[in-house]
Amino acid sequence: MRGEALDTPQTGPAVALSGVNKWFGAHHVLRDVDLTVAKAEKIVICGPSGSGKSTLIRCVNGLEAHQAGTIQVDGIALTGVPASVDAVRREVGMVFQHFNLFAHLTVLENCTLAPIHVKRMGRAAAEELAMGYLDRVRIPQLAGKFPGQLSGGQQQRVAIARALCMSPKVMLFDEPTSALDPEMVKEVLDTMAELARGGMTMLCVTHEMGFAREVADRVVFMDEGQIIETAPPAAFFDSPRHPRTQAFLSQIL
Ligand code: ADP
Ligand code: MG
């Protein structure tokens, strides 16, 4: 059961990482990562493949354990104790590259599963909530379909609605448009931009630099497990300071 103190609105940052280190065996994949994300702030994380972006955001919701340093989400520390992981996961919604929808459940059932089974919400209330979010991502008409009947862009919008149904304080995105056909990228980015305008706290790993420019408050560049540079988008793109950031941007822009 969640304690009273955990329900009290926190005045501190939405997410705080301090001195975070992680190894996979002997492989040191996160090196002294410090990152503080304010409530309603939008962070875009970019960097070369293998630089630790996915590992970083997976650590934020306890999908991966870190070995040193501290991670707090809305004031709740991830200590490695299962209860702390459960408490943090209730605050965090995650959207992956490969939508990870349940193929045997309808869109509506995908969205109501966690509210019913984790939040113990009644079915009718959960369905009303889910329809509200499906409406918000502009696919209420698809509620009765199965994931296999949808386009990739539609499936990803279901994944976003499903995450929102748990009323997360923070949304994590790990390359949500990388697996999509080009013509579907925009509808998902538009959905994310709308969520951002609504005041959601967001950490997005993406190489969509147009999205970063428009939506991010700060862009974080990672390389070899470290945060190399953090800056507001205009400064990040127009005058990157670190040579490695400059090299990365010259390859992708
Ligand atoms: P990115 O998302 O930036 O491409 P990742 O966080 O996926 O990078 O990976 C960072 C490093 O950690 C890579 O060298 C990758 O091979 C390694 N890695 C990621 N996941 C695992 C795992 N489950 N076991 C072992 N090594 C992993
Ligand atoms: Mg990745």
ipTM, two decimals:
0.98
Contact of 109 with 115, CB cutoff 8 Å: no
pLDDT of residue 10: 58
Single-letter residue type at 236: F
Best mutation site among 27, 45, 64, 67 for ligand 1 pocket (most ligand atoms within 8 Å of CB): 27
Reading the block at residue 84, the tokens are 């702390």
- Whose atoms come closest to the Cα of 97: which ligand? 2
Ligand 2 centroid to 175 CA: how many Å?
Answer: 7
Give me the pLDDT at residue 2, please.
42
- The rounded Å distance from CA 52 to ligand 1 centre is 6
Q: Indicate whether residue 50 lines ligand 1 (CB < 6 A).
A: yes
Write down the H helix ranges in the chain. 4-7, 53-60, 82-89, 107-117, 123-136, 152-164, 182-197, 209-215, 233-238, 243-252
Can you tell me the distance from the alpha carbon of 88 to that of 60, in angstroms, rounded to the nearest whole number? 8
pLDDT, residue 8, reads 53
Tens-binned pLDDT, residue by residue, of the chain (253 aa): 444 445 555 579 999 999 999 999 999 999 999 999 999 999 999 999 999 999 999 999 999 999 999 999 999 999 988 899 999 999 999 999 998 999 999 999 999 999 999 889 999 999 999 999 999 999 999 999 999 999 999 999 999 999 999 999 999 999 999 999 999 999 999 999 999 999 999 999 999 999 999 999 999 999 999 999 999 999 999 999 999 999 999 998 7
> Which residue's CA is the nearest one to ligand 1's atom 19?
55
Pocket of ligand 1 contains residue 199 by CB under 6 Å: no
Is any atom of ligand 1 closer than 6 Å to the C-beta of 12?
no
Ligand 1 in reach of 49 Cβ (< 6 A): yes
Atom of ligand 1 nearest to the CA of 64: 23
| Integer Cα distance of 145 and 135 in angstroms | 15
Whole-number pLDDT of residue 185: 96
Model-level pTM?
0.94
Ligand number nearest to the C-alpha of 55: 1
Q: What share of the chain is helix, strand, coil (3-state, %, to 5)?
A: 40, 25, 35
| Nearest ligand 1 atom to alpha carbon 48 | 3
The verdict on the CB of residue 137 being under 6 Å from ligand 1 is: no
